[in-house]
Amino acid sequence: MNRIVSRPDTLDLDSPGRRDYLVALEHDSIWGDHLIPLTVFVGPEAQPDQGLVAFGSNHGNEYEGPVALKHLLREIELDQVRGRIILVPVLNPSAFHAGTRESADDGVNLNRAFVDGAGTTASLAGITHRIAAFVRQHIWPRVHVVIDLHSGGDVARFSPCASFHPLDDPEQSRVIEQTARWFGTPLIMIYQNQTPGLLPSEAERYGKITVGTELGWGRAVLAEGVRYGRQGVLAAAIHHNQLHGEIEPIAHHRDGTQRKVAMVDRECFTVAPFAGHYEPLLECGANVRQGDVVGLLHDFDHIDTEPWPATAGIDGIVVAQAWVAPIHRGQHIVVVGREC
């Protein structure tokens, strides 16, 4: 397959058919471009402001999303497409090719870059903020469903989940939760919305049906996570009238064993008081009571001291724990969600 190298202003995201692009954004330091793979399918029922977009590699060291979307590029048949489906397996090529959370070129975290002036002011003109501007200018106007496929990378090991934020609009929240459940993950997570510049937060503010995920960890590819990601994107495309077909629920959705948890207050997060090495004692997904010891933080500079107990701040379910053993002071090393 020959992909068309195209500047954002020359993309055709509206005409019927399938087109495979490499979206070219000017490189910051060499004569060249960052190339973002993007495939668009447009069917006969496409509406100007309706469609689904699914992103992989918002962070560059999270791989279940890119793998799931790469599979879907080959699986989706154009004659089954009703509306508009946009797949972007690698939204952040600089970070992806470096295997890092942030861009290797400007050091910016793309999932913190959706801020005022991104890509349009001199102080926010690096590649990461220009990717955010590209999404704002060319993707948001054409879609009403947004899927942002994440994993824990080196930051955290998760019980796989589909996620969204607390919302003021009860109908938007209902439809988003319904969409999230079709991923089949063991947890449905409602998480705090205080972090500035998140891609899903912006999409939610625009009223879009927005689902994030945590599908793996450790810069690996979790087969189960790929399955959840593929299922969730296909189900969203079918249920939101962008793709013909039927789909059966899988895993915890099929079995009725999904649990919904909220981690929206500070008590959910256990903070490391010193730099050390973390030893988990419980698995993610475990039920805990407030004060239960979930893991131990070791100080090897003071080899004879007792390890510090990392305890659950609330009654609930262990959603995530630190993945790599070396821990920064102030890092969230245990996250417990309150079942709701």
Question: Residues 171-206: pLDDT tens digits?
Answer: 999 999 999 999 999 999 999 888 899 999 999 999
Beta strands 209-214 and 161-164, pairing class: antiparallel
pLDDT digits (tens, 9 = 90+) for 201-255: 999 999 999 999 999 999 999 999 999 999 999 999 999 999 999 999 999 999 9
Give the span between the Cα atoms of 33 and 24, in whole angstroms: 5
pLDDT at 109: 97
- What pLDDT is attached to residue 29? 80
Residues 6 or more apart whose CB falls under 8 angstroms from that of 51 comprise 83, 84, 85, 86, 142, 143, 144, 145, 242
Residues 192, 263: contact at Cβ < 8 Å? yes
Q: Which pTM was predicted?
A: 0.97
pLDDT at 85 over 90: yes
Domain ranges of the chain: 4-263, 266-339
- CA 40 to the chain's CA centroid: 20
CB atoms within 10 A of CB 233: 30
Q: What is the CA radius of gyration of the chain?
A: 20
Q: Is 4-263 a domain of CATH 3.40.630.10?
A: yes
Q: What is the pLDDT of residue 323?
A: 95
Specify the CATH number of the domain 266-339: 2.40.50.100
3-class secondary-structure state, position 65: helix
Virtual torsion, Cα 122, 128, 130, 131, nearest 10 deg: -170
Q: What is the mean pLDDT of the chain?
A: 97
Average pLDDT over residues 48-54: 98
Tell me the per-residue pLDDT of 11-31, one tens digit each, with 9 for 90 and over: 999 999 999 999 999 988 888
pLDDT of 251-301, one tens digit each?
999 999 999 999 999 999 999 999 999 999 999 999 999 999 999 999 999
